[in-house]
């Protein structure tokens, strides 16, 4: 993954991790690297984040522990070039991230893409809690029916229970805030593609902080150790 890179692997991982995990701008990181005798441009750090984030996420997903069968599903707003776009997210009963999906639109098609993505990666849940959105309810019903017809359900004929409760969905609202806290300090996303990849990297760090990765260690790993293990 790092073959042919001008800078050492440790420098690249450090910059990508700090950019995704902490409230630092690209220019902050450029100055911090300069203090360590490493001269690089802020655009180089951005290119690293865009290139390595999806690759690190893919490797992490291979180690991701199994989620529970009770999910909370909701979407939140993300501003890109002055326009509102949407980040669909789901967490399980333990607060672990189930899945996420970034979309330009907030409609049935986008909700179905998210639900189908989650069902394809994880076991069928027993129950999904939503905040009252009829669009999200319909997306769950349609995706559930389609997966049943394809024989993807563990128990044929068993339907996913849907609960509509604003109170029960408070957990995912809090989880949204932890992700968006990192976004606020950025100078804004310039494109939908860049936003999608950067958000995936932020979600990766968020899952690492929840210790959702399964590693061959008996102790809790730091963010740095998890990045190094995933990149190995």
Residue 185: its pLDDT value, please?
Answer: 76
The pLDDT value given to residue 104: 95
Highest mean pLDDT among 102-111, 163-172, 216-225: 102-111
Give one DSSP letter per residue of 160-211, joined into a string: PEEEE-TTTTHHHHHHHHHHHHHHHTS--BSSHHHHHHHHHHHHHHHHHHTT
Which residues make beta-bridge pairs with 164?
130
- Dump pLDDT digits (tens) for 29-45: 999 999 999 999 999 99
Rounded to a whole number, what is the largest CA-CA distance in the chain? 63
Compute the average pLDDT of residues 58-63.
96
| pLDDT (0 to 100) of residue 156 | 56
Quote the percentage of the chain above a pLDDT of 70: 96
With cut-offs at 50, 70 and 90, classify the pLDDT of residue 5.
confident
Contact 112, 145 (CB under 8 A): no
The helix/strand/coil state of 107 is coil
CATH of 70-199 among 3.30.300.30, 3.40.30.10, 3.30.420.10, 3.40.50.970? 3.30.420.10
Q: Report the alpha-carbon distance of residue 14 to residue 199 in Å, rounded.
A: 18
Evaluate if residue 153 carries a pLDDT over 80. Answer: no
Structural domain boundaries of the chain?
A: 9-63+213-231, 70-199
Q: Which tops the pLDDT comparison, 19 or 216? A: 19
The residue among 184, 143, 183 whose CA lies nearest residue 160 is 143
């Amino acid at each position: 993954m790092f073959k042919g890179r001008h800078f050492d692997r440790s420098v690249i991982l450090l910059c990508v991790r700090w950019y995704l995990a902490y409230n630092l701008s690209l220019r902050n990181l450029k100055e911090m690297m300069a203090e360590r005798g490493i001269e690089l441009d802020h655009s180089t750090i951005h290119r690293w984040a865009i290139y390595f984030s999806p690759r690190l996420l893919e490797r992490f997903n291979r180690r991701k522990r199994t989620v529970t069968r009770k999910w909370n599903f909701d979407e939140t707003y993300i501003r890109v070039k002055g326009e509102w776009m949407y980040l669909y997210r789901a967490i399980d009963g333990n607060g672990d991230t189930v899945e996420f999906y970034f979309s330009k639109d907030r409609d049935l098609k986008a909700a179905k893409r998210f639900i189908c993505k989650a069902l394809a990666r994880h076991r069928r849940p027993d129950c999904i809690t939503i905040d009252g959105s009829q669009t999200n309810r319909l997306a769950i019903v349609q995706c559930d029916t389609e997966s049943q017809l394809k024989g993807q359900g563990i128990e044929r004929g068993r339907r996913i229970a849907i609960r509509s409760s604003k109170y029960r969905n408070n957990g995912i609202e809090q989880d949204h805030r932890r992700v968006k806290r990192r976004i606020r300090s950025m100078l804004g996303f310039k494109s939908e593609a860049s936003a999608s990849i950067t958000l995936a990297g932020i979600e990766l760090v968020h899952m690492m902080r929840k210790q959702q990765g399964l590693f061959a260690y008996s102790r809790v790993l730091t963010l740095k150790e998890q990045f190094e293990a995933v990149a190995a």
